[in-house]
Amino acid sequence: MGTDTTPRGKMVGMMYLVLTALLALNMSKDILNAFTMINKGLESTTDNFAKKNAFIYAAFEKAAAENPARAGKWNEKVKEVKKRADEVFEYIQERKDTMVRAVDGLAPDFDLTKKYNKETLLPDEKGESYYELIHAKDDTNWGPLIMINRGGGERMRTKLNEFREYLLSLVDEKDAFLKESIENSLETADPPANPDNPETWVTEMFEHVPVVVSIVHLSHIQNNIRNSEAEVIAYLQTKIDASSFKFNKLEANVISNSNYVMQGGEYNAQIFLAASDTTAPPQVFVGDFDPNTLEMKGELGKDYQQLPVENGKGIYKMNPSREGITKWKGIIQTVAPDKSIKKFSFEREFTVAKPSLTVAATKMNVLYIGVDNPISISAPGVSAEALKPSISGGSLTKSADGYIAKVESGSKTATISVSAEIEGENKALGKMDFRVKRVPDPVAYMGTNKGAFNLGKNEIMAQSGIIPVLENFDFDLKFTIIGFEMSTLAGGFVVTEVSTDNKITDKMKAVWGKLNKGSKIYIEKIKAKGPDGSVRELGSISIKVL
């Protein structure tokens, strides 16, 4: 991306620097730690997928050894699935480990071309991985550098696209639900085009966010990889006759829409038997059960529920109300050829995240009355198009770089509230209060001087007017001097002259030309008009003639 040297480009550049700093300031320690817990939950779920996948791979190996003619080709297919899944998973892991080492200075001379060394990121004596102990969780530099500037994100997208297309090639067209699940889990499309604010799939995830959020994004993608891998190898089991394919056991399988759900959103899943007979639909129950007898505990409809079954798959939906890891389990049962009832248990978990919100004033942490205040609003996991912000005591309008807030006088604070449409429902994401302040008074300058100062007579005669300067203020606002009064002692009398703008009048200069060394000139009643139309009286100027 080239550097824009236009005035607007420089202003956008300054806004970006302030935004990144304020983004870190506004992400409280509690929110950053919450992302660490989300990451831990995602990695735990991903590890569970890997363990279940290992069992299915072992079953394919056993079946291929017992019946190579029938099972051999299927074993080769799942081997390729595992190989490709591991390759893209490990690539993402390398990006995560590199990010962590860089942000905490573990390897200042890190090299992206080298294989990462797992030894330094092993769990400590308390069992905590280094990802839980990151010191600089709020760093916003290394994530974009690794994933955007150095191309890590685009290479990851290419690998994910290739992996997704390969998995889809293994699924029949009639199995639309599974195809849709894979496409959704491994989606890498750019957000809707916006010429004023171009975004890509990569920049949407990694630009302007703390490193702990970048790591959560990568862990979420790894979770989706293992989930999609599990769905496809379980699906390949269903393609084989269970009586001739010598698995050591049938297993209940679950395909879910996601394993990362916003609090208040909906989690749904399909539960089915691998290698089941679709002409004999199973019965699916969700709730606690006896692990020895596989009998459900309690009363149907009260302590556990029976799911509706579509195309041999139980349909499970729930709306989680609390944060953290939600575990659920149940029994799927079917009638065997000998008319006996066969039961199979299943257990799954998913992570529920509380909706979080980041609202930052891109100039400073206040809103000024009567001016355009640039505002950046984002929420992890929610697209910019889905956000619905509003403000109390003012107005909020969309701009090329975010939003413009205008606030009114009469209030000390303004509240920006944000909601979003999530899964068809409007969800409140949070709100943030901002101080409302009046734009400060400018300081009156004559040339490069202000207040009381000394000047030689020639320098005094060279002055042309009074200049209003907003000191230590980031907004590019213009005040206009609309009048001032000059007074001095000349010939034993007080002489006063008035200007109706910012200029030194000819009469003033005529008086100054007669002054002697040691005389004093007073510039008072200086009035300046602001961009909002208000008139301010500025501090006076006192000049001693040298």
Pick the CATH number of 358-437 from 3.30.390, 2.60.40, 2.60.120, 3.40.190: 2.60.40
- DSSP code string of 48-91: HHHHHHHHHHHHHHHHHHH-HHHHHHHHHHHHHHHHHHHHHHHH
Q: What is the DSSP string of 239-265?
A: TS-TTTS--SS--EEEEES-SEEETTS
DSSP 408-425: -TT-SEEEEEEEEEETTE
Average pLDDT over every residue of 321-349: 79
Distances (CA, A) of 474 to 171, 377, 480: 57, 20, 18
Torsion sign across C-alpha atoms 335, 337, 338, 344:
negative
- 462: pLDDT strictly greater than 80: yes
CA distance linking residue 112 with residue 530, whole number of Å: 53
Query: Between 350 and 529, whose confidence is greater?
Result: 529
The tokens 């109706």 sit on which residue?
A: 500
Residue 349's CB is within 10 A of a number of other CB atoms, namely: 14
Kindly tell me if the per-residue pLDDT of 80 is higher than 50: yes
Rounded to an integer, what distance in angstroms lies between the CA atom of residue 110 and that of residue 107? 5
Angle between helix 211-238 and helix 29-66 axes, rounded to 10 deg: 20
pLDDT number for residue 381: 63
pLDDT at res. 6: 34
* Residue 488, pLDDT score: 93
- Cα distance between residue 31 and residue 38, in whole Å: 11
Query: What's the pLDDT score for residue 266?
Result: 62
Packed helices 68-103 and 152-169: angle between N→C axes, nearest 10 degrees: 160
Residue 24 pLDDT > 60: no
Structure tokens at 538: 């500025």
Per the CB < 8 A criterion, the answer to whether 538 and 528 are in contact is yes
- CATH fold of 254-354 reads Immunoglobulin-like (2.60.40)
Residues 470 and 440 sit within 8 Å (Cβ to Cβ): yes
CA dist., res. 122 & res. 100, Å (int): 13
Alpha-carbon gap, residue 210 to 143, rounded angstroms: 8
Average pLDDT of 190-214? 83
Judged against a pLDDT cut of 60, whether residue 274 lies above it is answered with no
pLDDT band at 163 (very low <50, low <70, confident <90, very high): very high
**Is the separation of the CB atoms in 499 and 509 below 8 Å?**
no
Whether the predicted model's global pTM rises above the 0.85 cut: no
Q: What is the C-alpha to C-alpha distance for residues 312 and 278, in angstroms, rounded to an integer?
A: 5
